[in-house]
Amino acid sequence: MGVRFHRNMQEQPITVSGYYIDDVSVSEEDFENLSSDVFFIEIHKSSGDLKSSSIDGEELVEKRAYTSKDKYIAFGEENGLSFDKQLVFEEIMSDFAEKSGAISEYEEIGELPQWYLEREQFVYDSIFNSSSNLKSAQISLFITLFKNYYGGGGSVIMPTHLPVMYPGWNNKVSCVEFVGIGGSLVIYDKSFFRKRVSTIVNWGMTRINLPSGVNDRMSSGLKLF
């Protein structure tokens, strides 16, 4: 198991408790050699949630990958995570952004069209506001994004859905903090919810340094709960 550190008031040891591909335990080497088109999940636990628990105050991190949409959704359903709604939302909005001309208009003038924002809010409300998430009581109040590890370099509050980054923030996020009991953040490498990189799941109010391959790659994001 690998050990690394993040700071939340004080440095707290983080132990990678396991690597899994389609729920089968694998070596770190096999996991790191996966192609980028699988569904990656990084789960942070500090109080015994999901598959394992914290040891002597350490925060455990579980790294998972799923090779199909159905397996990714099934894991979400098992753990009260709305991955099915996430995939519907990102498919609808990325397709709409491309076909409607929102992407080209944003790239030309540097502003999001109001008609696109209204459509995105409508779709988000339609999909998520009726969610019966099994862990809805453990909702994060909000997510803070930081430019540097350990919460340094400036910060911004992330809305529930962020199709493009704030000025000066594209590919600049290195650390995230879930304020509340828990939360989940989907990070995309392109604007308008395209090219999903990883899903970060956290139980506990902690700051999380983004891992290699996710650090400095956020161009849009979606808060699931």
pLDDT tens sequence across 74-108: 999 998 889 999 999 999 999 999 999 999 999 99
50 is a domain residue: yes
The tokens for 15 are: 């132990």
152 is a domain residue: yes
Here the CATH number for the domain that contains residue 124 is 2.60.20.10
Q: Which residues contact 40 (CB under 8 A, 6 or more apart)?
A: 63, 64, 65, 197, 198, 199
What is the rounded CA–CA span in Å between residue 186 and residue 165? 14
Write b or e for each residue in 32-58: b if 16 or more Cβ atoms lie within 10 A of its Cβ, otherwise e.
Answer: eeeeeebbbbbbbbbeebbeeebeeee
Q: Which helix (H) or strand (E) holds 122?
A: helix 114-128
DSSP summary character for residue 82? -
pLDDT digits (tens, 9 = 90+) for 164-209: 999 999 999 999 998 877 789 999 999 999 999 999 998 767 789 9
What is the biggest distance separating any 2 CA atoms in the chain, rounded to whole angstroms?
Answer: 53
31 is a domain residue: no
Q: Which residues contact 94 (CB under 8 A, 6 or more apart)?
A: 192, 193, 194
pTM for the model: 0.86
- 3-class state of residue 14 by DSSP: strand
DSSP summary character for residue 112? -
Residue whose structure tokens are 């594209």: 170
106 is a domain residue: yes
* Total number of domains constituting the chain: 1
Q: Which domain holds residue 49?
A: 3-26+36-223
The tokens for 211 are: 């891992």
Q: Phi then psi for 166, rounded to 5 degrees?
A: -60, 155
User: Between residues 206 and 120, which one has the greater pLDDT?
Assistant: 120
* pLDDT over 50 at 132, yes or no: no
